[in-house]
Amino acid sequence: MKELKPNARVAILLILFGSLATTAPSAQAAETGKSLSFAREIQPILARKCYACHGPDEGDRQADLRLDVREAAVDYGAIVPEDVENSSLIERIFSDDPDLRMPPPHAHDQLTDEEKQKLRQWIEAGAKYEAHWAFTPPTRPELPAVENSAWPRNGIDHFVLARLEQTGLSPAPEADRYTLIRRLSLDLTGLPPRPEEVDQFINDESSDAYEKVVDRLLASPRYGEKWARLWLDLARYADTNGYEKDRAREIWPYRDWVIRAINNDMPFDQFTIEQLAGDLLPEPTIDQLVATGFHRNTMLNEEGGIDPLEYRYYAMVDRVATTGTVWMGMTIGCAQCHSHKYDPISHTDYFRFMALLNNADEPDQILPDETVTKKRAELQTRIEKLQQSLSDQYLASISPADEETVEDVYEQRFTTWLKDEQQKAIDWTIVEPTAMQTNLPRLEVLDDGSIFSTGDITKRDLFELTFDLSSFKKPITGLRLEVLPDDRLPARGPGRAFYEGRKGDFFLSEVTAKQNDQQRTFESGSASYGKISIGSGTADAGNVFDNNGSTGWSTSGREGESHQLLLTFAEPVSPDAPLNLEMLFERHFAASLGRFRISFTTDQKPFQAKPFDAATEALLASSIDDLAAADKQQIERLFLLQTPELEKTRKQIEQLRNQMPEYPTTMVMRERPEDNPRPTHRHHRGEFLSPKEEVSAGIPLLFPQIETAEPSRLALANWLVSEQNPLMSRVVVNRQWQALFGDGLVRTPSDFGTQSEPPTHPELLDWLAVEFRERGWSRKQLHRLIVTSATYRQTSDVPAEDYRRDPENRLLARGPRFRISAETIRDTMLHASGLLSKKMYGPGVYPPQPESVVALAYGNEKWPTSTGEDRYRRSLYTFSKRTAPFAAFTTFDGPTGETCTVQRDRSNTPLQALTLLNDEMYLEMARAMARDVVDSVATPQAIVQEMFRRLVTRPATDAELETILAYHERQRQHLDDDAVAVKAVTGEEKSDSTTAAWILTARLLMNLDEAITKF
Residue 21 and residue 8: Cα distance in Å, rounded? Answer: 19
Whether 9 has a pLDDT exceeding 80, the answer reads no
CB 819 within 8 Å of CB 908? yes
> Which one-letter DSSP state was computed for residue 508?
B
| Phi and psi torsions of 379, nearest 5° | -65, -40
In tens, the pLDDT along 320-373 reads 999 999 999 999 999 999 999 889 999 999 999 999 999 999 999 999 999 999
Residue 761 and residue 759: Cα distance in Å, rounded? Answer: 5
pLDDT band at residue 32 under the 50/70/90 scheme: low
pLDDT band at residue 14 under the 50/70/90 scheme: very low
What letter represents residue 741's amino acid?
Answer: F
| Phi and psi torsions of 604, nearest 5° | -90, -20
DSSP string, 786-818: HHTSTTTTB-S---HHHHHHSTT-TT--S---E
- Preceding omega of 691 cis (within 30 degrees of 0): no
Work out the average pLDDT over 406-429.
88
- CA proximity to 888, closest of 846, 859, 927: 846
State the pLDDT at residue 404. Answer: 85
Whether 31 has a pLDDT exceeding 80, the answer reads no
State the pLDDT at residue 29. Answer: 53
pLDDT band at residue 709 under the 50/70/90 scheme: confident
| Phi and psi torsions of 512, nearest 5° | -125, 145
pLDDT above 90 covers a percentage of the chain that reads 73
Q: Collapse the DSSP code of 595 into the 3-class scheme (helix H, G, I; strand E, B; otherwise coil) and give the result.
A: strand
Q: Collapse the DSSP code of 354 into the 3-class scheme (helix H, G, I; strand E, B; otherwise coil) and give the result.
A: helix
Cα–Cα distances in Å, from 703 out to 58, 199, 755, 777? 20, 53, 18, 22
State the pLDDT at residue 11. Answer: 35
End-to-end CA distance of the chain: 55
- CA proximity to 179, closest of 797, 800, 806: 797
Work out the average pLDDT over 148-166.
97
DSSP H helices, 726-836, are: 728-741, 762-774, 779-787, 800-805, 822-833
Whether 63 has a pLDDT exceeding 90, the answer reads no
Whether 701 has a pLDDT exceeding 50, the answer reads yes
How many other C-beta atoms can be found within 10 angstroms of the C-beta atom of residue 297?
Answer: 24
554 Cβ contact list (under 8 Å, min separation 6): 495, 505, 506, 507, 508, 530, 531, 532, 533, 539, 591
pLDDT band at residue 33 under the 50/70/90 scheme: low
Sign of torsion over alpha carbons 243, 249, 254, 259: positive
C-alpha of 161 from chain center: 39
Least confident interval from 212-221, 535-544, 800-809 = 535-544
- CA proximity to 761, closest of 745, 747, 749, 772: 745
Whether 23 has a pLDDT exceeding 60, the answer reads no
Whether 502 has a pLDDT exceeding 90, the answer reads no
Whether 947 has a pLDDT exceeding 50, the answer reads yes
Residue 315 and residue 800: Cα distance in Å, rounded? Answer: 49
- CA proximity to 745, closest of 733, 727, 759, 766: 759
Least confident interval from 496-500, 736-740, 845-849 = 496-500
Whether 69 has a pLDDT exceeding 60, the answer reads yes
Residue 534 and residue 507: Cα distance in Å, rounded? Answer: 12
Work out the average pLDDT over 476-498.
94
State the pLDDT at residue 20. Answer: 32
Least confident interval from 71-75, 202-206, 293-297, 461-465 = 71-75
pLDDT band at residue 45 under the 50/70/90 scheme: confident
Strands (E), 664-703: 665-667, 670-671, 681-683, 691-694
State the pLDDT at residue 777. Answer: 98
In tens, the pLDDT along 658-698 reads 999 999 999 999 999 988 899 999 999 999 999 999 999 99
pLDDT band at residue 610 under the 50/70/90 scheme: confident
In tens, the pLDDT along 365-397 reads 999 999 999 999 999 999 999 988 988 898 888
Whether 473 has a pLDDT exceeding 80, the answer reads yes
Sign of torsion over alpha carbons 147, 153, 155, 156: negative
What mean pLDDT value characterizes the chain?
92
Residue 984 and residue 974: Cα distance in Å, rounded? Answer: 13
Q: Collapse the DSSP code of 640 into the 3-class scheme (helix H, G, I; strand E, B; otherwise coil) and give the result.
A: helix
Work out the average pLDDT over 414-420.
88
Sign of torsion over alpha carbons 882, 884, 888, 890: positive
In tens, the pLDDT along 867-925 reads 999 999 999 999 999 999 999 999 999 999 999 999 999 999 999 999 999 999 999 99
pLDDT band at residue 19 under the 50/70/90 scheme: very low
DSSP H helices, 360-457, are: 370-388, 390-397, 406-424
Whether 26 has a pLDDT exceeding 70, the answer reads no
DSSP string, 862-916: ------GGGGGS-GGGB---TTS--HHHHHTT---SSS--SS------HHHHHHH
Whether 13 has a pLDDT exceeding 50, the answer reads no
CB 172 within 8 Å of CB 798? yes
- CA proximity to 41, closest of 129, 109, 102: 129
Least confident interval from 190-204, 321-335, 477-491, 632-646 = 632-646
State the pLDDT at residue 500. Answer: 79
597 Cβ contact list (under 8 Å, min separation 6): 430, 448, 449, 450, 451, 481, 482, 484, 614
Using CA atoms of 359, 587, 882, 288 in order, give the dihedral in degrees to the nearest 10.
-30
In tens, the pLDDT along 185-244 reads 999 999 999 999 999 999 999 999 999 999 999 999 999 999 999 999 999 999 999 999
Which residues are paired to 539 by β-bridges? none
| Phi and psi torsions of 50, nearest 5° | -125, -35
Work out the average pLDDT over 771-789.
98
Work out the average pLDDT over 505-514.
96
